[in-house]
């Protein structure tokens, strides 16, 4: 029978595990597994637990690094957190390939973020409300001053606000749209605190307005929240070289044919939504891995990227290729809202480490590094797709996962690797090869 569990979050970690184990009839060995993933340093474990609620253990993911990322002539070791076997290898391959061809070029186009206060006001004359909003400007500014002083000292703050009339889409709906500059912070808490303070001050200002009828004095604030869509926090990254310089033995074709096939594949992602989704997934394989490694919010980054991909009404691939005067240029433009201060960046020991090996970048530099990783990832994926096909590299990277599933010993792993060296890896090939080895011994 279903049972409502109350007070669970108040228990200690050990008590939570015991409570859950007794309710779900878990064996001691199963709960021991949770404990085996606790960090040996209690302070670190405590910190990890506090990031979330009802934490029982840590869910480990590989933390890797890609050397040879040359971005704007500066060399980086890029940290990546991902569980997908081929992602880091693909980024590493691409980084090395472009290192020899001038590296990645990147620029931050803009860094503005947006917050919205959505409210209902049922007066007849929207202009009257707009006038009142302008009149409240000084009062609202004074109210948010304590919240924004520190950000202003760092060069950021509120950059604009305006009242937006949406009554043609929903009766009574208005918004206060506020833009922010949050410097090296992602700024979600800062933005949301300012929005809530503005909403309060604004609704009080309306309630106290003179010359308004009783109905007009009522503002119903529905919600105040940042938008994760940041089309004005944009970064562009590109690689380029002469077509002849694309040559590489592993392509299995000449450079001109490769450039043509590569460009066609990218153009397909711009007209076909099914392909665009997979194409962009490949980009986010790289983007998310760096966003995670640096303690940033990958859900926010993904949401913004996908919305941007659909900005003209059709979801399209985020990269583009131009071939002109025998030059090949491959580029990615991406909205990114990330921080190098605040949030998890200094609280998660490995996020802190990631920023250290990146040489303590500011938010703009991090945007460029993340975009370069996304572009590198996309380059590797599309290159494989239009040359050897994706499965060759993919399954070779997946080989170890299959062997682990089949409980191969280290010796067996080496033997299977040798025996399948030149073959297309599949689960059946690996399991048959392993069986052969096992029969022989």
Binding site for ligand MEV (CB under 6 A): 84, 278-279, 281-282, 285, 381-382, 385, 390
Q: Are 236 and 107 in contact (CB under 8 A)?
A: yes
Q: Which residues contact 74 (CB under 8 A, 6 or more apart)?
A: none
CA distance 324 to 243: 9
- Minimum distance, C-beta of residue 390 to ligand MEV, in the bound complex (Å): 5
- Minimum distance, C-beta of residue 427 to ligand MEV, in the bound complex (Å): 18
| Tokens read off for 135 | 């009149």
Paired sense of beta strands 220-227 and 112-120, if any: antiparallel
CA distance 105 to 368: 8
Which CB, 19 or 306, lies closer to ligand MEV? 306
How many other CB atoms are found less than 10 A from the CB of residue 424? 11
CA distance 119 to 135: 18
Which CB, 293 or 382, lies closer to ligand MEV? 382
Which CB, 276 or 369, lies closer to ligand MEV? 276
Q: Are 87 and 120 in contact (CB under 8 A)?
A: no
Which CB, 35 or 250, lies closer to ligand MEV? 250
Q: Are 236 and 367 in contact (CB under 8 A)?
A: no
Residue number of the CB atom closest to ligand MEV: 282
- Minimum distance, C-beta of residue 385 to ligand MEV, in the bound complex (Å): 6
- Minimum distance, C-beta of residue 265 to ligand MEV, in the bound complex (Å): 8
- Minimum distance, C-beta of residue 426 to ligand MEV, in the bound complex (Å): 17
Q: Are 352 and 346 in contact (CB under 8 A)?
A: yes
Which CB, 177 or 268, lies closer to ligand MEV? 268
- Minimum distance, C-beta of residue 269 to ligand MEV, in the bound complex (Å): 8
Which CB, 89 or 241, lies closer to ligand MEV? 89
How many other CB atoms are found less than 10 A from the CB of residue 13? 17
Round to the nearest angstrom and report the end-to-end CA distance of the chain. 52
Q: Are 191 and 163 in contact (CB under 8 A)?
A: no
- Minimum distance, C-beta of residue 262 to ligand MEV, in the bound complex (Å): 11
Which CB, 78 or 136, lies closer to ligand MEV? 78
Which CB, 133 or 330, lies closer to ligand MEV? 330
- Minimum distance, C-beta of residue 221 to ligand MEV, in the bound complex (Å): 42
- Minimum distance, C-beta of residue 396 to ligand MEV, in the bound complex (Å): 14
CA distance 14 to 309: 45
Which CB, 87 or 366, lies closer to ligand MEV? 87
- Minimum distance, C-beta of residue 278 to ligand MEV, in the bound complex (Å): 4
Which CB, 288 or 365, lies closer to ligand MEV? 288
Which CB, 190 or 258, lies closer to ligand MEV? 258
- Minimum distance, C-beta of residue 37 to ligand MEV, in the bound complex (Å): 26
Whose CA is closest to 301, among 188, 132, 439, 163?
A: 188
- Minimum distance, C-beta of residue 252 to ligand MEV, in the bound complex (Å): 18
Which CB, 319 or 337, lies closer to ligand MEV? 319
């Amino acid at each position: 029978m279903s049972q409502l569990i109350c007070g669970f979050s108040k228990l200690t970690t050990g008590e939570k595990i015991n409570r859950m184990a007794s309710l779900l009839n878990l064996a001691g060995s199963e709960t021991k597994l949770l404990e085996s993933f606790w960090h040996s340093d209690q302070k670190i474990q405590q910190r990890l637990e506090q990031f979330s609620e009802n934490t029982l253990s840590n869910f480990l993911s590989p933390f890797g690094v890609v050397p040879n990322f040359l971005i704007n002539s500066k060399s980086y070791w890029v940290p990546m957190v991902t569980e997908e076997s081929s992602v880091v290898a693909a980024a590493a391959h691409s980084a090395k390939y472009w290192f020899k061809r001038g590296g990645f070029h990147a620029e931050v186009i803009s860094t503005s973020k947006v917050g919205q206060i959505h409210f209902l006001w049922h007066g007849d004359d929207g202009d009257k409300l707009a006038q009142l909003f302008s009149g409240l400007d000084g009062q609202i500014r004074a109210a948010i001053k304590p919240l924004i002083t520190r950000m202003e000292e760092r060069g950021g703050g509120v950059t604009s606000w305006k009242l937006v009339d949406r009554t043609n889409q929903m009766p009574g709906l208005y918004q206060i749209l506020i833009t922010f500059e949050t410097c090296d912070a992602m700024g979600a808490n800062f933005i949301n605190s300012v929005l809530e303070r503005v909403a309060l001050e604004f609704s009080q200002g309306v309630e106290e307005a003179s010359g308004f009828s009783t109905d007009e004095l009522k503002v119903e604030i529905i919600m105040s929240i940042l938008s994760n869509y940041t089309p004005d926090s944009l970064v562009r990254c590109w690689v380029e070289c002469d077509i002849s310089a694309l040559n590489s033995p592993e392509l299995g074709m000449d450079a001109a044919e490769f450039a043509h096939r590569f460009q066609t594949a990218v153009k397909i992602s711009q007209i076909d939504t099914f392909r665009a989704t997979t194409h962009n997934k490949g980009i986010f394989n790289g983007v998310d891995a760096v966003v995670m490694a640096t303690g940033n919010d990958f859900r926010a980054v993904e949401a913004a990227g996908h919305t941007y991909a659909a900005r003209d009404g059709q979801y399209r691939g985020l990269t583009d290729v131009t071939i002109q005067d025998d030059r090949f240029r491959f580029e990615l433009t991406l909205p990114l809202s990330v921080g190098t201060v605040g949030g998890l960046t200094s609280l998660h020991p490995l996020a802190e480490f990631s920023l250290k090996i990146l040489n303590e970048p500011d938010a703009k530099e991090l945007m460029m590094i993340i975009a370069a990783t996304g572009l590198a990832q996309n380059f590797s994926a599309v290159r494989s797709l239009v040359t050897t096909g994706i499965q060759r590299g993919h399954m070779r990277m997946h080989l170890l996962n299959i062997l682990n599933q089949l409980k191969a010993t280290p010796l067996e792993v080496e033997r299977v690797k040798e025996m399948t060296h030149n073959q297309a890896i599949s689960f059946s090939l690996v399991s048959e090869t392993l069986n052969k080895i096992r029969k022989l011994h």
